[in-house]
Structure 1
Amino acid sequence: MSMFLGTHQNRFDAKGRVSIPAPFRATLKTQAQAGEPLVILRPSHFHPCVEAWPTMAFSALATPLDDYDPFSEDHEDLATSLYADAYPLDSDKEGRIIIPESLRSHAGLTEDVAFVGLGKVFQIWNPEAAEKRRQQARAQARTLTSGRKNNHTGSPS
């Protein structure tokens, strides 16, 4: 299975384009289907970053919408949250994309950009914010794994 791994840093060029890291492009291309965009970008619900989804993975996000009446306010809220700020993009021959201004603003992207692999998806961050997030995630992961270890051994948490 192809996964998005590692953290890669690139810079916007004079025309506002940024190159998707080669390993991420390769993973996107293995998952892309003819006639579909290479990637779908959207703002994160949790962090000041941009989420990047392969098209098939993004399509799977819509499955919970099937549980709601299509004419209900809940369905409309979920659909708006999912689709209204989503941008399907293809890269140019050099693997560059133009991140829409609303997403650049949401993530505080200026000159440098950090691409952070999360397995099935990746995120695009301001590099300083990405480093803080990685440290925060590692600390939280230690707490989560130590809690699991204690629960499995029967020792108190």
Structure 2
Amino acid sequence: MTMFLGTHASRVDAKGRISIPSPFRTVLRDNARPGDAMMIIRPSHLHDCLEGWTSSAFFSFSNALDEYDPFSEDHDDLATSLYADAYPLDCDKEGRVNLPKALKEHANLEGEVTFMGLGRVFQIWNPALAEERRKQARSRARELGRHKATSTREGSTS
């Protein structure tokens, strides 16, 4: 599978549609299974943004629910949070999707939007929040790198 890479600007048009960046459409098209929607868009569990998945990646990820008793509260909670707000969507011939109102409200999307590739998924952000997230992620990654380097050095002196 080709990955979602890069950060791309787009916008919500007057009819509420968002153009999916061309490189992301290529990944979605190349990974579409016959009979399935091109993508699944859902609210992020961690951030005020949306997550976009190829339908095949989303459904393979959701197989983790098989680990739970289907009649348990854990299964019900996870299934609700995973599926209840997930929308299967296809692009129109110009590469646009019409996001449900609840998704746009979750991510505060109006006017300009930012797409960020995260490998097997992509995110759709309000641009100001996207920039803040990128700064936060870089800072935390640097700190994690420092911590790992320190741990490795301390472990090798024993």
For the superposition of Structure 1 and Structure 2, which TM-score range results when normalised by the shorter chain? Answer: over 0.9
| Corresponding residue of 1:92 | 92
Tell me the alpha carbon deviations over residues 98-157 of structure 1, each in whole angstroms, 9 at most, x when there is no partner: 11110100001011110000011000000010000000000000001111111222279x
* Structure 2 residue 3 is the aligned partner of structure 1 residue 15: no
| Corresponding residue of 2:105 | 105
Quick one: distance in 2 between partners of 1:155 and 1:103? 46
Structure 2: any 5+ residue segments left out of the alignment?
A: none
- Per the TM alignment, residue 52 of structure 1 is displaced from its structure 2 partner at its CA by 0.3
| Corresponding residue of 1:38 | 38
| Corresponding residue of 2:117 | 117
| Corresponding residue of 1:138 | 138
Quick one: distance in 2 between partners of 1:68 and 1:17? 37
Which stretch shifts more, 1-10 or 46-55? 1-10
Quick one: distance in 2 between partners of 1:155 and 1:109? 47
The 8 Å contact of residues 40 and 89 in structure 2, kept in 1 or not, is answered as yes
| Corresponding residue of 1:152 | 152
Identity of aligned residues (%): 57
Quick one: distance in 1 between partners of 2:51 and 2:13? 21
- Per the TM alignment, residue 64 of structure 1 is displaced from its structure 2 partner at its CA by 2.2
Return the TM-score normalized by structure 2: 0.95
Quick one: distance in 2 between partners of 1:130 and 1:155? 37
| SS across alignment from 1:154 | helix
| SS across alignment from 1:97 | strand
Quick one: distance in 2 between partners of 1:96 and 1:136? 30
Which stretch shifts more, 60-69 or 41-50? 60-69
Quick one: distance in 1 between partners of 2:8 and 2:117? 9
Quick one: distance in 2 between partners of 1:138 and 1:7? 14
Tell me the alpha carbon deviations over residues 69-93 of structure 1, each in whole angstroms, 9 at most, x when there is no partner: 1111111111101100000000000
| SS across alignment from 2:116 | strand
C-alpha root-mean-square deviation of aligned residues, in Å? 1.3
Quick one: distance in 2 between partners of 1:71 and 1:58? 22
The letter of the residue matching 2:152 is H
* Structure 2 residue 72 is the aligned partner of structure 1 residue 72: yes
Quick one: distance in 2 between partners of 1:37 and 1:29? 10
Alignment length (residue pairs):
156
